[in-house]
């Protein structure tokens, strides 16, 4: 059976981008057709300036939202990265096959390092090495597929390179995984800056729809989305990024093709109105289930405890094999 691994970083409240680009497919497709692991990758949240209490709170919130969105712990493994030591054990070995140049070429590193500097902070070494930890997350489980949005494709490419290099140098140890991407909404853009991705740790609040936004807030954010000075509704990502983003969001929520939707709209106002209502409808059941789960924290704890136990058992043989293959004397 195909094994799938994917993760989500508790660096902010989950967004519509996280949902349409990743989470929804985990729920609707991946957990049904594969042996799937979904991880709240909390160690990755420490790579930028962070508040410890907030990371802890967001980790729990992300876990609750994953379950609220429909991940079923009977069908898949849901767990927290820092609860399974195998990730950091393997990460160090992979740092010994990765190169400094490779890390510095990562687009997310360049963007996030520049943002930290703009905010007056320093760039943590872990921000540079974080793609290696992500590779360890994936390789520890022998995952065949990694469902991700566009922004993570380069990191999965790096994971493949590291797996191939390790296998060539030290003998076959890792499955070489591949990224899988959604057909629509692989890159949901910020409503206020439609040439930038909608990212959960961005500063631009009005441009980001959060999964827990009230319907009225969703409506306001979408009705105020930046479009352009044209009037006709056409799908053109280069020339009309704002309108294209709305069409993609609407297509992802209602099904269908963004290009086919254009004909149904004579004005931006009508498109925005329908998009807002479609998003509200998609979020409604997730929010309702989230409220129920918040009233039952012991259930969420139990899911995470069982998930970590199962994940540990799955990862340990591969990580132990990597330790042996690279030349480390097994513990006596």
Which residue among 142, 177, 194, 199 contacts ligand AQP (CB under 6 A)? 199
- Closest contact distance (angstroms) between CB of 134 and ligand AQP is 8
Q: Among the candidate windows 1-9, 51-59, 64-72, 170-178, which touches ligand AQP by CB under 6 A?
A: 1-9
Applying CB under 6 A, does 290 fall inside the site for ligand AQP?
no
- Do residues 191 and 268 lie in contact, with contact meaning Cβ atoms separated by under 8 Å? no
Applying CB under 6 A, does 82 fall inside the site for ligand AQP?
no
Closest CA to 185 of 247, 238, 108: 247
The answer to whether 52 is a known ligand-binding residue is no
- Do residues 75 and 23 lie in contact, with contact meaning Cβ atoms separated by under 8 Å? no
- Closest contact distance (angstroms) between CB of 231 and ligand AQP is 27
Considering the complex, state which of residue 41 and residue 322 has its C-beta at the smaller distance from ligand AQP: 41
Question: In this structure, what DSSP letter does residue 78 have?
Answer: E
Considering the complex, state which of residue 148 and residue 303 has its C-beta at the smaller distance from ligand AQP: 148
Residues whose CB falls within 8 Å of the CB of residue 52, separated by 6 or more in sequence, listed in order = none
Residues 112, 220, 272, 313: which is the catalytic one? 112
Residues 110, 183, 200, 220: which is the catalytic one? 200
Active site residue 220: no
Which residue among 34, 81, 152, 318 contacts ligand AQP (CB under 6 A)? 152
Within residues 32-61, the interface with ligand AQP by CB under 6 A covers none
Considering the complex, state which of residue 102 and residue 150 has its C-beta at the smaller distance from ligand AQP: 150
Which residue among 94, 140, 198, 252 contacts ligand AQP (CB under 6 A)? 198
Helix or strand run (H / E) with residue 229: none
Helix or strand run (H / E) with residue 20: none
| Angle between helical axes of 86-95 and 125-139 (0-180°, round to 10) | 110
The answer to whether 205 is a known ligand-binding residue is no
Applying CB under 6 A, does 187 fall inside the site for ligand AQP?
yes
- Find residue 4's DSSP bridge partners: 36, 145
Burial class (CB in 10 A: 0-12, 13-18, 19+), 123: middle
Applying CB under 6 A, does 21 fall inside the site for ligand AQP?
yes
CA–CA gap between residue 121 and residue 269 (Å, rounded): 40
Active site residue 272: no
CA–CA gap between residue 261 and residue 300 (Å, rounded): 39
CA–CA gap between residue 44 and residue 63 (Å, rounded): 15
- Closest contact distance (angstroms) between CB of 234 and ligand AQP is 22
Q: Among the candidate windows 17-25, 63-71, 238-246, 323-331, which touches ligand AQP by CB under 6 A?
A: 17-25
Residues whose CB falls within 8 Å of the CB of residue 55, separated by 6 or more in sequence, listed in order = 10, 42, 45, 46
CA–CA gap between residue 270 and residue 223 (Å, rounded): 10
Applying CB under 6 A, does 135 fall inside the site for ligand AQP?
no
Closest CA to 78 of 91, 90, 69, 89: 69
Which residue among 25, 197, 240, 290 contacts ligand AQP (CB under 6 A)? 197
Instruction: Please state the φ and ψ torsions of residue 261, each to the nearest 5 degrees.
Output: -75, -25
Which residue among 18, 31, 64, 180 contacts ligand AQP (CB under 6 A)? 18
The answer to whether 9 is a known ligand-binding residue is yes
Active site residue 112: yes
Applying CB under 6 A, does 22 fall inside the site for ligand AQP?
yes
Residues whose CB falls within 8 Å of the CB of residue 323, separated by 6 or more in sequence, listed in order = 89, 93, 330
Residues of the binding site: 9-11, 17-18, 137, 149-151, 188, 197-201
Catalytic residue numbers, as ranges: 112, 197, 200
Binding site for ligand AQP (CB under 6 A): 7-9, 11-12, 15, 17-18, 21-22, 148-149, 151-152, 185-188, 197-202
Residues of the binding site for L-tryptophan: 137
């Amino acid at each position: 059976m195909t094994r799938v691994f994917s993760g989500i970083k508790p660096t902010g409240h989950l967004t519509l981008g996280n949902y349409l680009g990743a989470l929804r497919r985990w729920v609707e497709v991946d957990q049904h057709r594969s042996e799937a692991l979904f991880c709240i990758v909390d160690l990755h949240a420490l790579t930028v300036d962070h508040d410890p209490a907030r990371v802890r709170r967001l980790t729990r919130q992300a876990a609750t939202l994953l379950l609220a969105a429909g991940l079923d712990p009977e069908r898949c493994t849901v767990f927290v990265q820092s609860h399974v030591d195998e990730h950091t054990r393997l990460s160090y070995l992979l740092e010994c096959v990765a190169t400094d140049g490779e890390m510095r070429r990562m687009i997310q590193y360049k963007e996030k390092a520049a943002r930290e500097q703009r905010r007056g902070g320093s760039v943590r070494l872990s921000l540079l090495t974080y793609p290696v930890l992500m590779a360890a997350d994936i390789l520890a489980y022998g995952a065949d597929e990694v469902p991700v949005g566009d922004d993570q494709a380069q990191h999965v490419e790096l994971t493949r390179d590291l797996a191939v290099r390790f296998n060539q140098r030290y003998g076959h140890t890792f499955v070489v995984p591949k990224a899988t991407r959604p057909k629509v909404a692989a890159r949901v853009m910020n409503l206020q800056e439609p040439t930038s991705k909608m990212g959960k740790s961005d500063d631009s609040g009005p441009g980001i729809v959060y999964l827990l936004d009230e319907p009225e807030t969703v409506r306001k954010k979408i009705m105020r989305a930046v479009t352009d000075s044209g009037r006709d509704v056409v799908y053109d990502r280069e020339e009309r990024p704002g309108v294209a983003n709305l069409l993609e969001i609407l297509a992802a929520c209602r099904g269908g093709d963004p290009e086919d939707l254009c004909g149904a709209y004579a004005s931006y106002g009508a498109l925005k109105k329908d998009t807002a209502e479609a998003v509200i409808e998609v979020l409604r059941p997730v929010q309702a289930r989230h409220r129920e789960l918040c009233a039952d924290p012991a259930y969420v704890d139990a899911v995470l405890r069982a998930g970590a136990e199962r994940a540990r058992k799955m990862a340990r043989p591969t990580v132990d094999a990597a330790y042996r293959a690279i030349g480390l004397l097994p513990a006596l």
